[in-house]
Every structure is written in C-alpha cells, then in structure tokens.
Amino acid sequence: MARTAASSQVDPLSLLSGRSTMTLFSDGRDHYSHRVRLVLAEKGVTVEVVDADEYNKPEDLHEVNPYNSLPTLVDRDLSLYDSRVIIEYLDERFPHPPLLPVYPVQRALARLWMFRVEKEWSSKIDLLTTHPADEATVLRTKSELREGIIATSPIFSQKPFFMNDELTLVDCCVAPIFWRLKMCGITLRDRSARPLRNYMQRMFERDSFRRSLTEAELEMQE
C-alpha cells in the first residue's frame, strides 16, 4: 500500500521531461506497436524502445498513460497512446519522407482506409493472435479475414503501394497485418491474390520493414 501511495504522488510531467530521447513502449508481438516501429524506421528516427507486453509492463508506463496500454510514445513533455495518433504525429514531427498525401481529399481517403483496416482487419487479427476463442469462432474469423483481404487484391494491382505510388501510413498499418497471416494459418495462394503476394514481397523485403521487426516477429515466419 505504501508503494502505491508513493507512486500516485509522482508528477507524470517530471517523468516525461526526464527522458532525453524519444521513448516507445512497444509490444514485440503486437501489430499496433509494429506499425509505429515501421513508421519510425521509414523516418530514420532514433528512439529508445522499451519492450513490454500485456503481462509485463514497466511501472512508469502507467504514469504516462492512464490506460496503461501499448504502444505508448513519449516525446519530451508529450505522451501519446493511440497507434493512429502516434503515427500521424510522427509524420508531422518528422516530415521527410512524407507518409500522407499532400492534398486534403487524398489525405482524408488515406485516413478512411486506416479506419477501415482497423474495423475490418485489425479486430480479426486481434482475436486470432491474442484472444482465446472456440474453434468455430477461429475458423469463421480466419475465413472472413482471408476473404476480406482477397477482395482488395485489385487495389494492389494498380499501384506499387496501397492506392498510391509511394508508401503511406496506410501501408504501415496493412503490412504488419499481412506479416501475421502465416502465423494465423491464412494463405493467399489463389491466382487472383497474386497482386497481394507481390505487394507483400515488396513490403517484407523493404529495408525499413526488416529493421522494424522484433525477434518475436521474425519467428512468425518460421
């Protein structure tokens, strides 16, 4: 009880200002943390990565994030703890290379696609990788996720990246999900899925993507 009372009196701002470098509290198996690490790698940003997971979180995480969730980014006196907010902040904080389109309509569409990825794919990956479920639910989720991804295959046949000639934040959300398909037992061997496979190969061989991977994520492809 005494330790709890003492920790509650710590000023979060003092903890934040005490960090001389940008710090990312990151789960090495989580695709939300992975998307942040991928953006950091694309930007070439030096960051202190604090490895954590749902069952092993550092004590000071709660002081900078009231939800005690991962990922959390600490940059001087600022603490951010939603992955989409984090990656957009990083894109504005480090503008080169830009990872969102310049024009308002295209930027809005990119944000809409990130929202759709979150609603339609992320929740299913979450269930398959972190939340125990009965066999019927797992099979149904795999089928729905696979069908949903294959339905987007024509998009990947038009441009080298997700509806764009250059890599954007949408790709930084999509690629970590595609990286986890093999681990989830989902294959894309259909002839119609060739554009998806080509896209995955391009992304997975990208230097920034390789640098964004943790040891746990490397093992997902073994």
Ordered domains of the chain (ranges, CATH):
2-93 (3.40.30.10), 104-206 (1.20.1050.10)
Q: What is the pLDDT of residue 131?
A: 73
Average pLDDT over residues 48-61: 92
Which residue do the tokens 């295209």 mark?
A: 106
Average pLDDT over residues 19-34: 92
Query: What is the DSSP secondary-structure string of 100-161?
Result: S-SSHHHHHHHHHHHHHHIIIIIHHHHHHHTS---HHHHHHHHHHHHHHHHTTHHHHHHSSB
Question: What are the tens digits of pLDDT across the range 70-117?
Answer: 999 999 999 999 999 999 999 999 999 999 999 999 999 999 999 999
Average pLDDT over residues 146-164: 94
pLDDT, greater one: 12 or 23: 23
Residue 132 — pLDDT band, cuts 50, 70, 90? confident
Question: What are the tens digits of pLDDT across the range 156-171?
Answer: 999 999 999 999 999 9
Report which DSSP code applies to 214.
-
Question: What are the tens digits of pLDDT across the range 4-15?
Answer: 223 333 444 444
- Mean pLDDT, the chain, integer: 90
Residue 219 — pLDDT band, cuts 50, 70, 90? very high
User: Per the structure block, which two tokens stand in for 178?
Assistant: 């595609």
CB-based contact 128:134 (threshold 8 Å): no
Q: What is the pLDDT of residue 19?
A: 58
pLDDT of residue 2 exceeding 50, the answer is no
Alpha helices in the chain (DSSP H): 2-8, 12-17, 31-43, 61-64, 83-93, 104-117, 123-129, 135-150, 153-158, 169-179, 194-205, 207-212, 215-219
pLDDT of residue 216 exceeding 50, the answer is yes
Which residue do the tokens 């030096």 mark?
A: 46
pLDDT of residue 36 exceeding 60, the answer is yes
Report which DSSP code applies to 71.
S
Alpha carbons 100 and 11: distance in angstroms, whole number? 35
pTM of the model: 0.89
The sign one gets for the Cα dihedral 20, 24, 25, 26 is negative
